[in-house]
Amino acid sequence: MPRKFLSGDEAVAEGIRLAQPDVISAYPITPQTVTVERLSEFVANGELESHYMYVESEHSALAAAIGVSAAGARAFTATSSQGLLYMAECLTYASGGRFPIVMMNANRATALPWNIYGDQRDSIALLDHGWIQAYAEDAQEALDLCLMAYKIAEHPDVLTPFMINLDGFALTHTFESVDVPDNKDALDFVGRYEAFNCFSFDEPKNIGYSAGPAYNKYFKYDEHLGMNCALKVIDEVERDFEARFGRSYPGALESYHMEDTELCILTLGSISGLVRECVDIARERGIKLGLVKLRYLRPLPSGQLAQALAGIKALCVLEKDISFGAEGTVFTNIKSVLYDYKIELECFNVIAGLGGDDILPQDIKQIVNTLVDISHNKPYKRLQFLGIDTLQEG
């Protein structure tokens, strides 16, 4: 496999080139990333046989992708931040219509005050819109997710659109060496999309209809089942991927040094790399620290989370998100798993990296110190904004 020096954006463009969607629809203005620029170049120079559609807004970009999928073709679009929020209305049309569209989202700050730096408030705000949400840690994972996303989304038991999330700047605009699979190997893996919920002139079908109160719930229930099925399919697809390309992925979450640990930091996306290094340093110093990296936020891998977190003393959920007036949404999700599985531990929430604020090694060190103190029964604050609140009380 050739190695290329790519940004996260370009890695996604390479991955999508290999997955060969029939149509790419996108709106090119900020906060859009260079992913769609590269894809338009691939189409222009003949490296990718797709129809490239310039549309007039992000709302139209996803609406076009829905039309493409309803015609039985494979669709891709990409967006970020306010663009994703502008798409919000169409997100539920795509998921409710069971159209297996793949979209890349660059996680960037939301207005106001707006900027183009990384934070995860855009996608996490749309957690309930019925899309699978995966969070890449590096450019290689982003490329590999592009190939796996179509297989997972198009699986007949899943039929759910797929959002690949990349941290703004940290992943989208930094470069690394990436393995790019061979065209044929990639296409053999991804396969062609065989749609059956699509327009047909021979047997005219009804797409995008209403369903009254007596019927509506059954569709929503089936959507829920489809999303739950994705957990099993993610595992199957990752095993197939490993057999073909040699890179293994651990399912919807990754546990790092969680087997004999007392303290844990749970996070998602690119910041996992820094936390993993801090785990290594802490362990050299005799601190039993582990990392849980959530790779998928929807479907939420509740069983795997419970397995990973059972038996530890203290947990910090570190996230680039805040639900104002409550707490971080990832924290809320994790606490519901702890309650369901009757896992008792001390846990606190650190809100960090908002608007692209750097999370530094000394910040993680401070979190680890707090975890150690908590394990020695010191009082602590349940919710902390990194760099604003003090981590320890008193």
Partner 1 sequence: MADRKDVLIPKLYDEKLSPKDYAHTTCFSSGYLSQTNASWRSERPVINLKKCTACMQCYMYCPDASIYKIKNPLEDSKHEELVQVDLDFCKGCGICVEVCRFGSIRMVEEACEFREDLI
Binding site residues, partner 1, CB under 8 A? 96-98, 156-157, 159, 196-199, 201, 203-212, 214-215, 218-219, 221-222, 225, 229
Which CB sits closer to partner 1, 214 or 388? 214
Q: What is the smallest separation between the CB atom of 207 and partner 1, expressed in angstroms?
A: 6
In the structure encoding, which two tokens stand for residue 16, read together?
A: 């999508």
Q: What is the smallest separation between the CB atom of 95 and partner 1, expressed in angstroms?
A: 10
Q: What is the smallest separation between the CB atom of 132 and partner 1, expressed in angstroms?
A: 17
Q: What is the smallest separation between the CB atom of 23 and partner 1, expressed in angstroms?
A: 16
Which CB sits closer to partner 1, 98 or 151? 98
- Extract long-range pairs of 230-235: CB within 8 Å, 24+ residues apart: 230/132, 230/152, 230/155, 230/158, 230/160, 230/296, 230/299, 231/296, 231/299, 231/301, 233/151, 233/152, 233/155, 233/157, 233/158, 234/148, 234/152, 234/296
Which CB sits closer to partner 1, 211 or 326? 211
Q: What is the smallest separation between the CB atom of 251 and partner 1, expressed in angstroms?
A: 20
Q: What is the smallest separation between the CB atom of 348 and partner 1, expressed in angstroms?
A: 39
258: alpha, beta or left? (left if phi > 0; alpha if psi -120 to 50): alpha
User: Within 13 Å of residue 113, how many CA atoms lie on the same side as its CB?
Assistant: 3
Which CB sits closer to partner 1, 31 or 96? 96
How far from the centroid of its chain's Cα atoms is residue 296's Cα?
Answer: 6
Distance, in Å, from the CA atom of 102 to the CA atom of 121, rounded to the nearest integer, reads 20
Which CB sits closer to partner 1, 146 or 229? 229
Q: What is the smallest separation between the CB atom of 105 and partner 1, expressed in angstroms?
A: 24
Which CB sits closer to partner 1, 141 or 154? 154
Distance, in Å, from the CA atom of 232 to the CA atom of 252, rounded to the nearest integer, reads 10
Distance, in Å, from the CA atom of 331 to the CA atom of 339, rounded to the nearest integer, reads 12
Burial track 153-188 (b if 16+ CB lie within 10 A, e otherwise): bbbeebbbbbbbbbbbbbbbbeeeebbbbeeeebee
Which CB sits closer to partner 1, 66 or 104? 66
Cβ-in-10-Å burial (0-12, 13-18, 19+) of 198 comes to: middle
